[in-house]
């Protein structure tokens, strides 16, 4: 049997859908209201099907935006960029995803591919931002991560701020795997795809990060 013929990639490099930027303008407000939802309905296309459809009809890229805007905003916020900076960064991620969509490797999940783009953009943005002290208030983007990490600790009496600080003081290679595992609930395979490292390295980094967090918390 002959291999299936891939759809020709028709997206011109210098073209952005006219409504792309209009859609991304409301990201910060959506984040603040927590009113975005991801709902699978009858006729829901897989990511790969949606990518192929977008390569035929560029305006369909807006569907990719709607599918990933909430999860990527949360990822950006937990990674250290919030407010206006988060909205601007999300827009940059989607623009890059649109421009490089023709280079998407169908051998890995699309979610891993777009998270990989997001990861790189976040690291570039964080380099240009001043260091931020963690607020003593319980910051909602961190809540799921804090709860999941707390459940793994022998002592559950640490405050959310202490746990957030313990994660944020890690070197980036350790912090990245912790955020992806505990905030984004990515599997070792997905983390491997996103960070472009082996699963063995992922497992090793997670174990080291957890040990470092325990050591930090025990000595505060």
Looking at residue 22, which CATH number applies to its domain?
1.10.1740.10
**Among the three residues 132, 147, 165, which one is the final residue of a domain in this structure?**
132
3-state secondary structure the chain: CCCCCCCCCCCCCCCCCCCHHHHHCCHHHHHHHCCCCCCCCCCCCCHHHHHHHHHHCHHHHHHHHHHHHHHHHHHHHHHCCCHHHHHHHHHHHHHHHHHCHHHCCCCCCHHHHHHHHHHHHHHHHHHHCCCCCCCCCCCHHHHHHHHHHHCCCCCCCCCHHHHHHHHHCCCHHHHHHHHHHHHCCCCHHHHHHHHCCCHHHHHHHHHHHHHHHHHHHHCC
pLDDT of residue 73: 87
Closest listed residue to residue 114, CA positions, set 171, 186, 53: 186
Residues 117, 9 share a domain: yes
Can you give the CATH number for the domain in which 153 is found?
Answer: 1.10.10.10
Domain encompassing residue 105 = 1-132
Q: What is the model's pLDDT at position 82?
A: 67
147 in the same domain as 128: no
What is the number of other CB atoms lying within 10 angstroms of the CB of residue 154? 7
Do 186 and 162 share a domain, yes or no? yes
The pLDDT profile of the chain, 220 residues, written as one tens digit per residue, is 343 333 333 434 444 444 444 444 444 444 444 433 444 444 578 898 899 988 888 888 989 998 998 889 888 888 877 666 788 888 899 999 998 998 898 889 999 999 999 999 988 887 765 555 444 444 556 788 888 999 888 877 888 888 988 998 899 899 999 999 998 999 999 999 999 999 999 999 999 999 999 999 988 7
Distances (CA, A) of 209 to 19, 61, 201: 42, 37, 12
- Of all residues in the chain, the percent with pLDDT exceeding 90 is 34
Q: What is the pLDDT of residue 43?
A: 56
Are 145 and 125 in a shared domain?
no
Q: Are residues 38 and 93 in the same domain?
A: yes
Radius of gyration of the chain measured on its C-alpha atoms? 19
DSSP result, 172-219: HHHHHHHIIIIIS---HHHHHHHHT--HHHHHHHHHHHHHHHHHHHHT
Same domain for 40 and 106, yes or no, is yes
Residues 170 and 74 in one domain: no
Domains in the chain, number: 2
How far is the C-alpha of 60 from the C-alpha of 143, rounded, in Å? 33
Q: Which of 132, 156, 187 is the last residue of a domain?
A: 132
Q: Please tell me whether residues 77 and 151 are part of one structural domain.
A: no
Verify that 47 and 114 share a domain, yes or no.
Answer: yes
* 3-class state of residue 91 by DSSP: helix
Confidence at residue 1, expressed as pLDDT on a 0 to 100 scale: 39
11 and 50 part of one domain? yes
Last residue of a domain, one of 83, 109, 132: 132
CA distance 188 to 29: 32
Same domain, 127 and 172: no
- Same domain as 216, residue 188: yes
């Amino acid at each position: 049997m002959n291999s299936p013929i891939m759809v020709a990639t028709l997206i011109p490099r210098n073209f952005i859908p006219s409504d792309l930027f209009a859609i991304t303008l409301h990201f910060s407000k959506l984040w603040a209201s927590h009113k975005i939802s991801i709902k699978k309905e009858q006729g829901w296309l897989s990511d790969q099907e949606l990518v192929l459809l977008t390569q035929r009809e560029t305006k369909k890229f807006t569907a990719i935006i709607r599918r990933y805007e909430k999860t990527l905003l949360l990822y950006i916020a937990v990674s250290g960029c919030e407010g206006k900076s988060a909205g601007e960064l999300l827009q940059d991620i989607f623009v890059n995803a649109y421009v490089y969509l023709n280079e998407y490797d169908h051998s890995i999940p699309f979610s891993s591919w777009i998270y990989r783009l997001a990861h790189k953009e976040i690291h570039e943005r964080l380099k240009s931002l001043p260091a931020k002290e963690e607020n003593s208030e319980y910051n909602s983007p961190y809540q799921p991560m804090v709860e999941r990490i707390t459940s793994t600790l022998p002592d559950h009496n640490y405050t959310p701020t202490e746990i957030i600080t313990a994660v944020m003081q890690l070197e980036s290679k350790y912090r990245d795997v912790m955020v992806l595992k505990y905030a984004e609930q990515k599997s070792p395979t997905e983390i491997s795809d996103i960070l472009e490292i082996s699963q063995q390295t992922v497992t090793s980094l997670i174990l080291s990060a957890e040990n470092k967090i325990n050591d930090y918390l025990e000595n505060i």
